[in-house]
Structure 1
């Protein structure tokens, strides 16, 4: 059975969701973005298309590539439409301590552990990504995934989890905070643990 991912959904098209939706559409995936209501879905569409347009105007993307990415994006308010998706990225905004992170909460300790390995000098980013497996269905290593999510987003989630649970494994590592302060946010800025051409 093929493990190649062709159909992906992103639930939430705000700051956390728009970036992965755009990156995946540019990579050739069929992307379905689900929002809670029509105005939010329209806002997500405008946000992503504006980002693609900025990249074209800055000379970082050609117009035809941006148009192809836009054709791969579809928006819905019906969670039932996600039934044919091979993967779903949860990127729903959190609105207070009673709201739990679903997918992100499970990933964060794993991502932070990988960052601490690089910070301590135990391994390079490439070594960590080659040697540490997240499990079946994840097509990239933890540090490439951190770049895709956005280092600022991972740091914000870690801060929120640490504030609520006071578990040190949730606290953002100093390396992560230094990289965010330096503007190294991952794919959205063109550099994080890796350098991304065309940004």
Structure 2
């Protein structure tokens, strides 16, 4: 593949191939980028490749893309368990576990294998962590940005782009061109503050709905109906919590509470009890609702 694809870039690196990483890798390959996906082990490599290929096959089966498009995307994808194979990338998105220590360790390891004079834009895909804190793990803090993609990556149109106080304007501009022109996303600029824009509004709303249910103020069905049929939301806050994963939601809320000391983010006891019981929402078959 030759020439620029989107935003002047054509070589994309993705670190991690879980739900979000796989979605990013697939979207990048379908958008015409040469994508290298780096994972931590051979087992993760096999699982990640299978996840991406299965998703592409589903898109063909549903008529969203043709078989030729699927084959072209597969041809642009490669997988590795060696970070050094990302050294020639022009933009790298880290999408591992939502944990500052884990992400910082990955960034430090990546920094060690990149050329000292590199100008690679490094993005951490995060829903709640401070970008400036993660940028401190690398030499070129000015090249670090944050991205907050939404699940599923391929169909949700929005992405938040976060610049830390140390992010160079050119690095942020390159990232925005990649997101908007390369991936076709609507970009919202967010400050490097707890919750950015979306979760600063959404998480307190979801915590309030859970507290309302916990107190017996209303049933789950009535709370969600109030927001879908009364306010036009596509999904009620409790159904959305189940879709997100109650363990993920609790972790994000707790992290935001610890960063901000804002009681609006504090996870209610009901949420924590459901997580402890293993009722994690759709993925476990039970949360605020039961699922087949």
Do these two structures clear the TM 0.5 threshold for a shared fold by scoring above it?
Answer: yes
1:98 and 1:67 mapped to 2: Cα distance? 37
Q: CA RMSD in A?
A: 3.7
1:39 and 1:145 mapped to 2: Cα distance? 34
2:101 and 2:27 mapped to 1: Cα distance? 30
2:28 matches 1:24: yes
Q: Judging changes above 3 Å, is the alpha-carbon distance between structure 1 residues 46 and 136 closer, same or farther for their aligned structure 2 residues?
A: same
Partner of residue 62, structure 1: 66
Q: Deviations over 1:2-47 (max 9, x none)?
A: 8611000000000120001100000010000000001101100000
Give the deviation of 1:161 after TM superposition: 3.2
Partner of residue 186, structure 2: 144
Partner of residue 172, structure 2: 135
2:97 and 2:103 in contact (8 A); partners too:
no
1:25 and 1:4 mapped to 2: Cα distance? 16
TM-score normalized with structure 2 length: 0.42
Q: Deviations over 1:99-121 (max 9, x none)?
A: 4576233266x86xxxxxxxxxx
1:64 and 1:13 mapped to 2: Cα distance? 24
Unaligned runs of 5+ in 2: 108-123, 132-144, 149-156, 162-168, 189-198, 200-243, 266-292
Q: Report 1 or 2 for greater relative contact order, CA contacts < 8 Å, sequence distance ≥ 6.
A: 1
Q: Judging changes above 3 Å, is the alpha-carbon distance between structure 1 residues 145 and 72 closer, same or farther for their aligned structure 2 residues?
A: farther
2:37 and 2:66 mapped to 1: Cα distance? 23
2:39 and 2:15 mapped to 1: Cα distance? 6
Partner of residue 181, structure 1: none
In the TM superposition, what are the counterparts of 1:150-189 in structure 2 within 5 Å? 158-159=252-253, 161-166=255-260
Q: Judging changes above 3 Å, is the alpha-carbon distance between structure 1 residues 51 and 77 closer, same or farther for their aligned structure 2 residues?
A: same
Q: Judging changes above 3 Å, is the alpha-carbon distance between structure 1 residues 161 and 145 closer, same or farther for their aligned structure 2 residues?
A: farther
1:88 and 1:160 mapped to 2: Cα distance? 28
Partner of residue 91, structure 1: 95
1:5 and 1:51 mapped to 2: Cα distance? 25
Q: Judging changes above 3 Å, is the alpha-carbon distance between structure 1 residues 25 and 97 closer, same or farther for their aligned structure 2 residues?
A: closer
Q: Judging changes above 3 Å, is the alpha-carbon distance between structure 1 residues 47 and 160 closer, same or farther for their aligned structure 2 residues?
A: farther
Unaligned runs of 5+ in 1: 112-124, 172-199
Q: List structure 1 runs of 4+ shifted beyond 6 angstroms.
A: none
Give the deviation of 1:163 after TM superposition: 4.0
Q: Judging changes above 3 Å, is the alpha-carbon distance between structure 1 residues 35 and 100 closer, same or farther for their aligned structure 2 residues?
A: closer
Which structure features the higher share of strand residues?
2
2:252 and 2:55 mapped to 1: Cα distance? 26
Q: How many residues align?
A: 145
TM-score normalized with structure 1 length: 0.59
- Higher Rg of the two aligned structures: 2
Task: Pick the aligned partner of 2:19 from 15, 21, 25.
Answer: 15
